Amino acid sequence: MNAEGHVTSLRSRIKRLFAPLLPQPSRRAEVRLRITNLTRQVEIADRIEVADRGERRRKGLLGRSGLEAGEGLWIVPCEAVHTFGMQFPIDLVYLDRKSHVVKTRSHVRPGRLSACLSAHSVVELPSGTVRCTMTNPGDKLELVRVPLAPALD
């Protein structure tokens, strides 16, 4: 073994030795939500993913071919979204900090911008959801965490 090999070997031994003492990168568990319109007594979706940090917020729904009924994405905080690069239309429900609907947009096609400067967050849903659930500004929504089923090996 040459000198470079000894240094590499020594580095890996030191890393293994100190690894238990060093802070590990946090692995946040994926969170899912069920959203119910309390005003209308109707479930909006039961499989809402949460985008509350960096990469997840930037990616949003890009790369997907669609959303099934009951699926969606809650982006928090968020006042505006775009659908550039998306392959399908979506519905948008803008919420204030108390989960009151402040604005809705239906069938937002790819290549569009939408904003609501008074909003704190936005829920992206399959096109037609706002109409089917009769969700309107002023409605009170309830967002409840849903436990994820354990992965099967």
CATH number where 100 lies: 2.60.120.1140
Domain region containing 51: 25-146
Report the number of distinct structural domains present in the chain: 1
> Confidence class of residue 106 from pLDDT cuts 50, 70 and 90?
very high
Quick check: is 55 in a domain? yes
Does residue 42 fall inside a structural domain? yes
Alpha helices in the chain (DSSP H): 3-18, 54-59, 129-133
| Torsion of the alpha carbons at 27, 65, 108 and 43, rounded to the nearest 10 | -60
The predicted pLDDT at position 4 comes to 59
Nearest to 104 by CA among 139, 66, 146: 139
pLDDT digits (tens, 9 = 90+) for 45-88: 999 999 999 888 889 999 999 999 999 999 999 999 999 999 99
Tell me if 104 is assigned to some domain: yes
